[in-house]
Amino acid sequence: MSGERGIPVRTGQVAECEIVGLTHEGEGVGRYQGFTLFVHGALPGERVRAEVVSVGKSFGRARVTQLLAASPERRSAPCPLFEVCGGCQLQHLDYPAQLHWKRRHVVDNLARIGKLPVAGEEAAGGDGSAAAGREPVVVHPTIGMEDPWRYRNKAQVPIGRGEAGLIGGFFEEGSHDIVEMEACLIQQEENEETVRAVKESARTLGISAYDRASGRGLLRHVVVRNAAATGQRMVVLVTNGREIPREMELIALIRERVPGVASIVQNVNTMRSSVVFGEITRTMWGEDVIYDEIGDIRFAISARSFFQVNPEQTERLYRTAVEFAGLSGEETVVDAYCGIGTITLFLARHARRVYGVEIVPEAIEDARRNAALNGIGNAEFAVGRAEAVLPRWQKSGVKPDVIVVDPPRKGCDPALIATMLELRPKRIVYVSCNPSTLARDLRLLEDGGYRTVEVQPVDMFPQTGHVECVIGIQRIDT
């Protein structure tokens, strides 16, 4: 026993278990004498021996020590660093199976947390009362990629000190130890080329790497962006201090070695924390932004702009959001959490007027610039919290027919949910990167007089456990 009454395992024990599911972090869900073990490296349908590494009151964690019966969907991970990196969790799972389990994860959260019935699935959890008298939610198959590799247009690489000097790659899973890496199979090759050139340039000039233990050294991160539509590249050097020795030589080397570089930027971060960016950003050479496109809309992207990292899937995600909004050209639409205006400008092409709100002032500046860049005159933007700005707009006569939300992983602020229920738009479109907080928020909207109609999962991050969704929500009395 573990010392806890009723728990059949202890730390260090090797347990034989059947794997019945998959978590959103890519761990196998195992059962041992009725107790749940999340097993790193195991896949659904497998039987494994696993060493228990931690035990809690309701579940434990373990690592595979022996594969007794392998899943037919298991494959060899093509990346040699897969076992230590942690950036990808599902390279060892066949891609069609990845898409299946991402949809399964969405369905399970809708049922367990949202208490929502799903078409073609078993009834929602609990007593089923929340599902009574309503049509089940349609959860479509996950939209995947034809080629689920080399999709990321942004790389964010920590820099540190190794035996041979400056290194850069990734944090080893579960630690802050940096492992040197020259290739990543989910990064666009242009990003690899750029990071390699920056590291070589820094080594050539003797620029010091940041040491997290002592807080000394200069170069903390190298962040690069690649704009496939224009061929432009951006390099961001995150430094532990303002002064960069031999700065002009460093700029010259980067320009010489990085094809298409259009912007070289410094961000200063002197905080003793894991936060990547500091508050001070300056352009060292070139433009403040680079330009990329999603569909037929062009975006100016600055060093700290949020811009989706998978452009091919982003276009599918946004076009689904426009479809679920059901726009005829006469609607007033509000885009909460609008960022730099990506979804807003897609919506503006199909609505009478669109209003975007975002708490980050720099993002709203970018949004306004992007609207002007595309000649879109029916979009208006404001800085602030959506739950505060929307009532102010309502008092000035703005009555939204559709509200679109694309919140961070923590989901919508409860005050925004309350505000949407007060404004009572005909439709709500929810873009989510976290199925559990999505299900929680859908339950609140359902209890407030709305019905979740359909869910479209989109695989924005192949080879990882993450899944994004677009959800169409209808007011019941329309």
The 10 Å CB-count burial string (b at 16+, else e) for 307-321 is: bbbbbebbbbbbebb
Choice among 79, 88, 433, 469 that is catalytic: 433
Helix (H), strand (E) at residue 40: strand 35-40
Block residue for tokens 């700065």 = 247
- Amino acid identity at 67: L
The 10 Å CB-count burial string (b at 16+, else e) for 101-123 is: bbbbbbbbbbbebbbbbbeebee
Beta-carbon neighbour count of residue 138 at 10 Å? Answer: 14
**With contact defined as beta carbons under 8 Å apart, do 10 and 52 qualify?**
yes
Would the CA dihedral through 150, 156, 160, 165 be positive or negative? positive
List all residues 6 or more positions away from 59 whose beta carbon is below 8 Å from its beta carbon. 35, 36, 37, 38
Helix (H), strand (E) at residue 38: strand 35-40
**With contact defined as beta carbons under 8 Å apart, do 253 and 206 qualify?**
no
* Residue 433 appears among annotated catalytic residues: yes
Rounded to an integer, what distance in angstroms lies between the CA atom of residue 194 and that of residue 202?
12
The residues that are catalytic are: 433
